[in-house]
Each structure stands twice: as C-alpha cells, then as structure tokens.
Amino acid sequence: MIVTVTPNTALDVTYTVDSLVPDAVHRARDVRRRAGGKGVNVARVLHALDVDVHAIATAGGATGVAVATELGAAGLSAELVPIGGETRRTTTVLSASDGSVTLINEPGPVVTAAEWELLAEHVHRREPEVLVCSGSLPPGAPSEGYARLLAGRTSVLDTSGAALLAGLAGRPAVVKPNAEELREATGHDDLERAARELMRAGAGAVVVSLGAGGLLAVTPAGTWRATPPGALTGNATGAGDAVVAALALGLSRREPWPEILRRAVALSGAAVLGPLAGDVDLAHYHRQGQRVAVRARPEQES
C-alpha cells in the first residue's frame, strides 16, 4: 500500500469562465468542488490506476465536512484527522478563451501541537510500502514535522521552502521540487548542482519538474532527462501531483529510473488533460507512455 499525507487539506473550487478580464464581473460556465491538497490529489491519481492507496489528511469545520463527504463519494480510502480550524479553500479560475489558469491558495488554519501529534500518530500506525508527504505545512505545524513523519520509511517528499529543507533530515528517498522551488531552496541556477546539494543534505534522489519541458532526475544511479513527445493544452494544476504518484508507484515496484520517469511524464500529461487536479486521461497515459524520451548523460545507460 501507498499512504499519502496532506497536512494542509483543501476544498478545491474550480470556476470556468469565458475569459478572465481584470476589473470585470464574470459569470462562471461551470463550478466544481472537490477534496484537494497535494497528497489527496496524489491518492486520487493512484486510485484511478487501481493502486492500493490510503490518504491521511486533516479536516475541520463545515469545509472539512464537505471534504469528507466528497472523499467518500469518490470512493477513496481515507482517514481524516479532526482539527479545530476551518479547512481552507483553494480557488482555480480556468479561462476558456486562452486556456490560462489562475490559482488563489488560502494559507490554511492554524494546527495546534496536539492536533499535529494526532496526525503523526495516524501516520505512524501505518506501515506502507511508500509514504508520500505533500504540500505546504499549515500554520502552527513544527518546521521539522515532515522529517519526523518520513524518518525510517521509503518516502517521497513534495514541498517547498523551509519545509523542504527541514524535511531532508527525514532522508526521503525522492524529493520533487519544481525548478523555481529548487532554485529558491539552494540559491543555485544550475539545476543539477542544486539537486546534488539536496542529496548531500539527505535526499536519496531529486526529480525536478520542468513544466512542459518534462523532468530532470538526479540519482545515485545516474542523471536523466525525460521529455514528453509534444506540448499539451489544459489544466496543469495537478500535473506535479501526478508525477509524485508515478514516483511512489515506481518506488513501490522497485522499477529502474527510466521506467519510472516515462510513467511520470506520461501521467503528468494525462493530468493536464484532466478537467480537475487529481484527474488523469487514462487513454492518453497508456498511449503516450512509450513515446516519452528518456536520455541519460553519455556515461550512463538509459
């Protein structure tokens, strides 16, 4: 089983409008609400692939009730840790005219020390093949919170800033920053150099999201670049979570890096074509998997 952890759960609200224009009144073509947060999205992708996955997340207030109801309706295996604060909402506005995506992320409610310890207890009771910790730490969470959850487990960490740097003490098997997050964390523009700095600090491997450019993987076994066969237009908000789902699945199956990266890029593209974060176009995923190019440095074999 793969277990995902989402300390800063959200109710994702997505509006589709004809065109997003500043200082104007908009009428939504469509409004959709579903449980979200990065770890929940990862679990949703794995569930779509018929992988045994369990989501652990926080929930509070009326919004937390809505999150619980939607997770149940979606058929996701989940346990929600109660908190006193109101679960946050994230708002996505999709512009139909140009395909642009605008996100507004609330910071989330303050989590007390007792609530964080309860979350940690729920996580430590599980013995997954792979543990995934994703997203921002909510206000009030200890800076070393992820490190304590990850310690001694095969794990994937997907976060940024101080939470990423502190989480390296838990020695995650893989961390997955995007290029901007990696530069911010290390101060280096050279992404391979920056990735190796994270590895020296505790990461087993670093997989960097390059947006439409695919992925860069820096690992003890070698360095690879994985690129999609072509550009896609759609909603990219869940693409990184699909990459994390592929990394966790590959680790659980002990697959070689080129195979993991091909799946990750194909799933990422399938997520761009999905209407909401956590959705994947399975037909695209199965069609594109072997068309992803994975290239190693000259001295490595792919």
Q: Where are the domains of the chain?
A: 1-133
Neighbours of 150 (CB within 10 A): 25
What are the tens digits of pLDDT across the range 20-49?
999 999 999 999 999 999 999 999 999 999
Active-site position among 158, 241, 279, 281: 241
At the topology level, CATH places domain 1-133 in UDP-N-acetylmuramoyl-L-alanine:D-glutamate ligase (3.40.1190)
- The average pLDDT across 15-22 equals 92
pLDDT of residue 101: 86
Average pLDDT along the chain: 94
241 is catalytic: yes
Asked if pLDDT for residue 52 goes beyond 90, the answer is yes
Tell which residue, 99, 108, 83, 72, has the closest CA to residue 234: 99
Angle at 221 between CA 215 and CA 224, to 5 degrees: 25
Residue 150 backbone phi and psi in degrees, to 5 = -80, -25
Is-above-0.95 flag for pTM? no
Q: What is the pLDDT of residues 108-124, one digit of tens each?
A: 999 999 999 999 999 99
